[in-house]
Amino acid sequence: MLYKLSPSTLKYDFAKCPRCFWLKLVSGLRAPSMFFPPLFNRIHSWIYEYMASVHTSDILPDMPAGRLIHTERGVKSLPIQDTVILHGRLDGIIELDSGGYCVLDIKTTDKVDRLAVNYSLQLNTYAYCLEHSADGVFSVAPVKRLGILAFMPNRFAVRHQDAAGIAGSLKWIEVEKDERVVGKALGEVLPVLRSSTPPESSKKCEWCRYARMRVGL
């Protein structure tokens, strides 16, 4: 059986609780998911709409030089060890002036210190999918750079009654391209997926505690 793993499933679901990860992938039992406010998606869409009309040097001088050519594209890898397929939906792709491509992600946040660490697996997974894509699936190569454009809102501004909005600052955060990041994550989850029984739950998993009390899982 082939299991489809998104970056969030590969990283956050597994790290949160290996047992819930196994139950979700192998048995189809899902813990309640968090709600993501749609406003953030709209903000990111507005940023991409603006980016598509200008060169990246007109946005931030330390961004990779090039032009945004794709947004909101689904990606999927070839099967890995006949067990998993990686997939996801990346935010954007910049075609670099120097040749090759950059995978871009946008985050709206006021905490940027650990963005590169926290989203390294996500962006490297997208790069892996693009460079090892399934037949007939969108791909570009070579992927030379990865990065996050962080929007940090800090004030409300009004020009007149029909022109008001949230203003803030931008920061480019480079993420190291390293396929070993994906290999390490797969090395942790593949033995779990191949097991015929679920692993022990995380001691901090509230959903597992609830399930044991209510339905005996």
Give me the pLDDT at residue 205, please: 87
User: What confidence tier does 68 reach under pLDDT thresholds 50, 70, 90?
Assistant: very high
| Range of the structural domain that residue 166 is part of | 3-214
The single residue listed with the structure tokens 């090039």 is 66
What is the rounded average pLDDT of the residues 138-151? 97
Give me the pLDDT at residue 215, please: 57
> Rounded to an integer, what distance in angstroms lies between the CA atom of residue 136 and that of residue 77?
11
Are the CB atoms for 149 and 106 separated by under 8 Å?
Answer: yes
User: What confidence tier does 204 reach under pLDDT thresholds 50, 70, 90?
Assistant: confident
Handedness of CA 140, 40, 25, 183 (dihedral sign): positive
φ/ψ (deg, to 5) at 132: -135, 50
Mean pLDDT of the chain: 91
Query: Tokens in use for 93?
Result: 């792709």
Nearest CA-CA partner of 199 in 5, 15, 4: 15
| CA distance from start to end of the chain | 23
Give me the pLDDT at residue 157, please: 87
pLDDT at 191 > cutoff 80? yes
What is the rounded average pLDDT of the residues 68-95? 97
User: What confidence tier does 107 reach under pLDDT thresholds 50, 70, 90?
Assistant: very high
The single residue listed with the structure tokens 């390490």 is 184
Number of domains comprising the chain: 1
What is the rounded average pLDDT of the residues 90-109? 97
> Rounded to an integer, what distance in angstroms lies between the CA atom of residue 146 and that of residue 133?
17
> Rounded to an integer, what distance in angstroms lies between the CA atom of residue 119 and that of residue 147?
9
CA distances from 99 to 69, 123, 164 (A): 13, 19, 39
What is the rounded average pLDDT of the residues 46-58? 95
- 16-20-26-29 Cα dihedral, nearest 10 degrees: -130
| CATH classification at residue 160 | 3.90.320
pLDDT at 36 > cutoff 70? no
